């Protein structure tokens, strides 16, 4: 998913990169249909451009995804911890992708992901790079990430990599459960969230991350809903 990409040439190069790596789904957020320069750099990936989906917001693009992974060069105060993207992380993401839809989210060429976009991601990664120039061209970054995930290096003998547990529930189900928590937080006396960085919003962001780790199957979500219902009835 490309958030607000500015350069048609980059969009075409991204289409070619993901097709090289066996992927096909391209989402363009806040971006109209790309033009001739995108076709010129796509090189045999016109089908990816033709099938690209367009949305006004990242939240809309993430509907139906079980896991959103953002790539950025800088940490954010209220977003997930910034991790180093390496072969081990790529294997984890490949394992998660086998259980549900994983969105790989990239910002635009000038400013990268916004703080609000970063907060919609359940994990954030930075690509290893030289300290003199730590920021990659957008299409290069997409190629590095998709190649490492599609063609992961095998772990050395006698070493095992444990994939981090991640929710396989649809994102809509998790958001519904998050809204139930938001309702409960209101009953507990917290003010409604007004900005992405106020106290209630930060609590809800952390709760959402905990839910993504805790809900591995529909029965887990049903358990949480039952507990929330009992708590709500006692508070009412």
**To the nearest whole percent, how much of the chain has pLDDT over 70?**
92
Angle at the Cα of 151 (from 148 to 156), degrees rounded to 5? 90
- Phi and psi, residue 72, nearest 5°: -155, 160
**To the nearest whole percent, how much of the chain has pLDDT over 90?**
44
Decide if pLDDT at 107 tops 70: yes
- How far is 52 from 81, CA to CA, in rounded Å? 30
| Residue 155: predicted pLDDT | 57
Least confident of 49-63, 167-181, 187-201: 167-181
List the structure tokens of 48: 């990816």
Q: Rounded mean pLDDT of the chain?
A: 85
pLDDT band at 33 (very low <50, low <70, confident <90, very high): confident
Q: What SS3 class is residue 225? A: helix
pLDDT band at 10 (very low <50, low <70, confident <90, very high): very high
2-150 topology per CATH: Alpha/beta knot (3.40.1280)
| Residue 131: predicted pLDDT | 77
Decide if pLDDT at 162 tops 80: no
67 within 8 A of 103, measured Cβ to Cβ: yes
Among 12-26, 76-90, 167-181, the range with the most confident prediction by mean pLDDT is: 12-26
Tell me the average pLDDT across 123-135: 88
14 within 8 A of 139, measured Cβ to Cβ: yes
Kindly list the domain boundaries of the chain, sorted by start residue: 2-150, 171-235
Least confident of 25-39, 67-81, 154-168, 189-203: 154-168
Torsion of CA 126, 132, 137, 143, to 10 degrees: -50
Decide if pLDDT at 100 tops 60: yes
């Amino acid at each position: 998913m490309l958030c607000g990409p500015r350069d048609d040439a980059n969009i075409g190069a991204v289409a070619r990169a993901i097709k090289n790596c066996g992927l096909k789904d391209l989402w363009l957020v806040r971006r109209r249909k790309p033009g001739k320069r995108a076709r010129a750099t796509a090189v045999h990936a016109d089908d990816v451009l033709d099938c690209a989906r367009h949305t006004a917001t990242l939240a809309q693009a993430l509907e139906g995804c079980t896991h959103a992974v953002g790539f950025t060069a800088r940490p954010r105060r209220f977003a997930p911890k910034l991790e180093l993207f390496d072969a081990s992380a790529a294997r984890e993401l490949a394992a998660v992708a086998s259980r549900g839809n994983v969105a790989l989210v990239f910002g635009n060429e000038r400013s990268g992901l916004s703080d609000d976009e970063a907060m919609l991601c359940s994990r954030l990664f930075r690509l290893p790079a030289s300290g003199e120039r730590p920021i990659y061209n957008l299409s290069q970054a997409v190629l590095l990430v998709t190649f490492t995930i599609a063609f992961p290096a095998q772990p050395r003998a006698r070493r095992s990599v444990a994939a981090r547990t991640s929710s396989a529930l649809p994102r809509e189900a998790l958001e519904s459960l998050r809204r139930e928590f938001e309702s409960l937080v209101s009953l507990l006396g917290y003010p409604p969230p007004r900005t992405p960085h106020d106290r209630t919003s930060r609590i809800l962001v952390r709760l959402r991350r905990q839910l993504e780790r805790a809900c591995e199957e529909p029965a887990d979500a049903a358990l949480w809903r039952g507990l929330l219902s009992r708590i709500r009835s006692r508070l009412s």
